[in-house]
Amino acid sequence: MPHRTFLCRLIFCAIFSVSIINVFNGASSPSFFLHYSKPAAALQHHVVCPQSELADDVLVVLRTGATESRQKVPVHFQTTLRCVPHFIILSDLDEEIEGHAVHDVLGGHGGVTEKKRNEHDDFKLYHQLQKHGRQNVDSQRVIMAESGSSKGDYLNTGNEGWKLDKWKFLPMIDRSYQEMPNAKWYVFIEADTFLGWNNLLEYLANFDPSKPYYIGKHLYINDIEFGYGGAGFVLSNPAMRKVIEQRSMRFRDYEDFTATHWVGDCALGKVLEDAKVPLHRAFPHFQGDSPATLDPATSKIDRTAWCFPVITYHHVSPAEISDLWRFEQEWYKKVCVPRPWYTRDLKRTNYKADCATLARHLTSPPRCLP
């Protein structure tokens, strides 16, 4: 593991250096202040949460399943989600994990039809969960290895939880929109995805949320292009509404499409294609690999991994998510404490203070300068 830890840090140093370069070039620099969105975070005074005007307009949706949720979800409450004002956890079982509600997205309004749930073999596990709860769930194999599965999740088709997962993609659009209908952006990640919150906010600031955007790492199955769910993807509010409308017009057709395809992100890509919302290819900002398995020489759409700030990593274990979070926090503190600061109101007095002092004295988010 020492060489993997070193590689993680090396890659992060290269990525974060881009932010510093942007500051020297006069480009937008990260905004920082101690903003505790969750009670658990408020008790930890050493946590530094990047913030921007967009933060309250973003809903982060973490998709998981009962076969992995207890092992993989808690680390997110201890790391990135501590800085996220609005998030929801969607699964195949209603339960509570460390005080946070986890919602079954397959049943009820907007979920999979009862007819399809009763007739399709993929729902064997779902019926067991609804009848017996978590009993015997632990017998399902959960991939917890460092840097994820060397085979890749698209080859993990024998897992019952994996079979059930593809049915969540379309219902989770309706459920997420119901949760926060006025959000400008909806960000979808998985339990083994690391999310760089600050890089996400900086990236989304370049797009007009009043337009239908579908943003993610592109993949193809046959002739359908879609955003890879493991790398995370983003939909704007207008794009969400288009999906919901399109799906409502051909509900059974899209259920049949999902039944005959092996991944749900492809089914969502099909609905968006029919709704005339093309994918905005976001490689290498959204990564399908972990830092330890990422090949920086890989080139897609005339881009390599270098000089692009990473927003997500995939196939990362809880331990690796914690390591990445700690590295990120250490970097923020080195950049921000102590530094000269300024506010958006140029008439105000400049302060020289650390993040905590500024959080107490400034009414608008400070910007950190090198």
Tens digits of residue pLDDT in 39-85 = 343 334 578 887 688 999 999 999 999 999 999 999 999 999 999 99
Instruction: State how far the Cα of 234 lies from the Cα of 347, in Å rounded to an integer.
Output: 37
Task: Specify the DSSP class assigned to residue 3.
Answer: H
Rounded Cα gap, residues 37 and 83, in angstroms: 6
Tell me the three state secondary structure of residue 37. Answer: coil
Q: Phi first, then psi: give them for residue 189, nearest 5 degrees.
A: -130, 170
Question: Tell me: the pLDDT tens digits for 116-145?
Answer: 999 999 899 999 999 988 876 765 555 444
Query: Please, what are the domains in the chain?
Result: 53-317 (3.90.550.50)
Q: Enumerate the H helices of 133-283 as residue ranges.
A: 160-165, 169-179, 197-204, 237-249, 251-259, 264-274
For residue 32, what are the β-bridge partners? 50
Q: Note the pLDDT of residue 134.
A: 84
Per-residue pLDDT at 207: 95
Distance CA 218, CA 229 (A): 10
Q: How confident is the model at residue 148 (pLDDT cuts 50, 70, 90)?
A: very low
Q: Measured between alpha carbons, how far is 88 from 264 in angstroms, rounded to an integer?
A: 19
Rounded-to-integer distance, Cα 321 and Cα 79, Å? 8
Q: What percent of the chain lies above the pLDDT cut of 70?
A: 69
- Tell me the C-alpha distance between 359 and 48, whole Å: 11
User: Which pair of structure tokens corresponds to residue 106?
Assistant: 């397959």
Residue 221: the pLDDT is 87
Q: For residue 13, what pLDDT is reported?
A: 47
Report how far residue 218's alpha carbon sits from residue 288's, in angstroms, rounded to the nearest whole number.
10
> How many other C-beta atoms can be found within 10 angstroms of the C-beta atom of residue 209?
18
> How far is 54 from 202, CA to CA, in rounded Å?
9
Q: What is the pLDDT of residue 309?
A: 82
Cα gap 310→320, rounded to integer Å: 16
In tens, the pLDDT along 316-351 reads 999 999 999 999 888 887 776 544 333 333 333 333
The answer to whether 159 and 137 have CB atoms below 8 angstroms apart is: no
The H helix count followed by the E strand count for the chain is 14, 15
Quickly tell me which residue has 């903003």 as its tokens: 35
Q: How does DSSP assign 293-345, residue by residue?
A: T--TT--BTTB-STTS---EEES--HHHHHHHHHHHHHHHHHHHTTEEEE-S-
Contact 87, 62 (CB under 8 A): yes
pLDDT (0 to 100) of residue 145: 40
In the block, tokens 């339990």 appear at 191
Which pLDDT belongs to residue 222? 85
Name beta bridge partners: 189: 62
* Predicted local distance difference test score (pLDDT) of residue 158: 58
Share of the chain above pLDDT 90, in %: 50
- What is the predicted pLDDT for the residue at 298? 72
Q: For residue 364, give every residue at least 6 positions away whose Cβ sits within 8 Å of its Cβ, in sequence order, or none.
A: 343, 344, 345
Query: With 70 as the cut, is the pLDDT of residue 306 above it?
Result: no
Q: What is the pLDDT of residues 13-43, one digit of tens each?
A: 444 443 333 332 333 334 433 333 443 433 3
Residues whose CB falls within 8 Å of the CB of residue 317, separated by 6 or more in sequence, listed in order: 144, 145, 146, 147, 148, 192
Q: Which residue from 54, 87, 100, 119 is spatially nearest to 187, judged by alpha carbons?
A: 87
pLDDT confidence band for 226 (50 / 70 / 90): confident
Kindly report each contact of residues 147-151 with a partner whose C-beta sits within 8 Å and lies 24 or more positions away, as own/partner.
147/4, 147/290, 147/292, 147/293, 147/315, 147/316, 147/317, 147/320, 148/192, 148/290, 148/293, 148/314, 148/315, 148/316, 148/317, 149/315
- Residue 230 in contact with residue 315, Cβ under 8 Å? yes
Q: Which residues pair with 60 in a beta bridge?
A: 87, 187
In angstroms, the CA 86 to CA 338 distance is 29
On average, the pLDDT of the chain sits at: 77
